[in-house]
């Protein structure tokens, strides 16, 4: 691991995540009765628990507004959820200010162009392997796994191993 990346990983006090395409595979699933379904990875959930136990604050920011994201956040004990957000940078900045955390001490993981503003402000920009090219190019670190299939766990493990 390069020294600069290790320094960025060690400095992280907050991990902020987009939802669709990062915590999920980005697919939109609809049941016959019109209900919306999302797939989350249990390993990502464990990774989030581990980083929170290590003292890293976690937040979700998503343009979508639905009960599924709130239920997932409750399950993994993430209390800061910004749903139905058009301006992800404003939500990111607000969350950090509420916690007294500088943007340089935050990591942000996104997968599409609407994630570029907070990624550009974060001290550590992260992306799943299947993020769009512009996001992968903007990221300091790109997971080997795709969104919804362990990319978040991989990022959590990198954060924790840099502290060891």
Q: pLDDT tens digit string along 45-93?
A: 999 999 999 999 999 999 988 889 999 999 999 999 999 999 999 999 9
Q: How far is CA 91 from the centre of its chain?
A: 13
Q: Is the dihedral of CA 121, 122, 123, 128 positive or negative?
A: negative
- The answer to whether 42 and 59 are in contact (CB under 8 A) is no
Please choose, from the candidates 139, 140, 141, 143, the residue with its C-alpha nearest in 3D space to the C-alpha of residue 130: 143
Burial class of residue 29, CB neighbours in 10 A (0-12, 13-18, 19+): exposed
Close Cβ partners of 112 (under 8 Å, ≥ 6 residues apart): 18, 21, 131, 132, 135
- Which among 14, 16, 19 is positioned nearest to 148, based on CA atoms? 19
**Helix (H) or strand (E) segment spanning residue 45:** helix 42-53
pLDDT at 1: 61
Percentage of the chain lying above the pLDDT 70 cut:
99
Helix (H, G, I), strand (E, B) or coil at 36: strand
- All structural domains of the chain, each given as residue ranges with its CATH number in brackets, are 3-163 (3.40.50.1000)
- Residue 18 near residue 142 (C-beta atoms within 8 A): no
Rounded Cα distance between 89 and 32, Å, is 36
pLDDT computed for residue 34 by the predictor: 84
At residue 27, the pLDDT reads 87
What string of pLDDT tens digits covers the 164 residues of the chain? Answer: 689 989 999 999 999 999 999 999 988 888 898 888 889 999 999 999 999 999 999 999 999 888 899 999 999 999 999 999 999 999 999 999 999 999 999 999 999 999 999 999 999 999 999 999 999 999 999 999 999 999 999 999 999 999 87
């Amino acid at each position: 691991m390069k020294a600069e990346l290790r320094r960025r990983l060690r400095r992280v006090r907050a991990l902020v995540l987009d939802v669709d395409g990062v915590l999920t595979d980005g697919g939109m699933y609809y049941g016959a009765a019109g209900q919306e379904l999302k797939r989350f990875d249990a390993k990502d959930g464990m990774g989030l628990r581990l980083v929170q136990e290590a003292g890293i604050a976690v937040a979700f920011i998503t343009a979508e507004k639905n009960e599924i994201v709130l239920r997932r956040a409750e399950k993994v004990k993430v209390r800061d959820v910004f749903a139905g957000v058009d301006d992800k940078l404003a939500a990111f900045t607000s969350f950090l200010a509420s916690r007294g955390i500088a943007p340089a001490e935050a990591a942000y993981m996104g997968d599409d162009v609407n994630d570029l503003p907070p990624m550009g402000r974060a001290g550590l920009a992260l992306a799943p392997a299947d993020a769009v090219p512009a996001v992968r190019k903007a990221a300091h670190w790109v997971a080997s796994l795709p969104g919804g299939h362990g990319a978040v766990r991989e990022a959590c493990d990198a954060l924790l191993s840099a502290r060891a």
